[in-house]
Structure 1
Amino acid sequence: MGAIHVARVYDRDALPPGRRFLVERLWPRGVRREDLGIEDWLRDVAPSTELRRWFGHDPDRWEEFRRRYAAELDASPEAWQPLVAAARRGPVVLLFGARDGERNSAVALRDYLAAHR
């Protein structure tokens, strides 16, 4: 099983090697698709709009966000199964747009996928 990395789309020069997937519901501002070299844009694996707005990148809501997001992922395995399949073939990079590199949906997704391999 390949490693699952997370990387910010705006750090294109420092992206780790692997198959790249954008895991955001909204396309990141100022980024062209061809510049990312992504395999796919998996909108449906991202948190719901309601959950994303509720979280608002508030560090105090991080643990509850992770719990709620995991529940959404539990209800939609078809959304994240392509990432598990890709990771079986080699390293995968989950691309995100948030400023906070430690508390964002891609980090929560990586941890969720690691627990569900």
Structure 2
Amino acid sequence: MIRCKRVYLDAQAGDGQRILVDRLWPRGLSRDALAFDEWLPEVAPSTELRKAFSHRVEAFDDFSAAYRRELAGHPEHWQRLLHWAAGGTLTLLYAARDEEHNNARVLAEFLEEELQRYDSPSSPVCYQGEFDGN
């Protein structure tokens, strides 16, 4: 299960692995004040993409598509997240005020799709001849 949560909300027992997925450290929080397991700034959108988006809702669709392209080009940045999500609850931490239009939501959807791809059964061609009496 993959969840998204603002860094300013208290940690809960059910959060599982708490991973900060912003490129910049959240404003107003000391490292000691944030309950997190790891910070992965490299999985966040590039600085150029983050600045172009600038948290404008009307730019979210373009941002989302561009961020997905960045993610697809760098699986080494998010492979560990898949492992954690497959093994239990993964909570992606982010600092954005908008809880619907942010990089963590895009990343969570991307990871969910990747998990589904890994869990999908093999194609019928792989079983050809196994069930027809041969």
TM-score by length of 1: 0.93
Are residues 1:75 and 2:73 paired? yes
Question: How far has the Cα of 1:33 moved from its partner?
Answer: 2.1
Choose from 94, 97, 113 the match for 1:96.
94
- Work out which of the two has the higher radius of gyration on C-alpha atoms and give 1 or 2: 2
TM-score by length of 2: 0.81
Question: How far has the Cα of 1:38 moved from its partner?
Answer: 1.3
Q: Deviations over 1:33-59 (max 9, x none)?
A: 233221110000000000000000111
Partner of 1:63: 61
Structure 1 Cα separation of the partners of residues 15 and 6 of structure 2: 13
Identity of aligned residues (%): 43
Structure with the largest fraction of helix: 1
Aligned residues: 115
Runs (4+) off by over 6 Å:
none
The higher-RCO structure (CA 8 Å, 6+ apart) is 1
| Aligned positions of 1:1-117 closer than 5 A | 3-12=1-10, 16-117=14-115
AA matched with 2:5: A
Report the aligned-residue RMSD.
Answer: 1.4
Structure 1 residues not aligned, in runs of 5+: none
Structure 2 residues not aligned, in runs of 5+: 116-134
Question: How far has the Cα of 1:16 moved from its partner?
Answer: 5.0
Structure 2 Cα separation of the partners of residues 84 and 104 of structure 1: 19
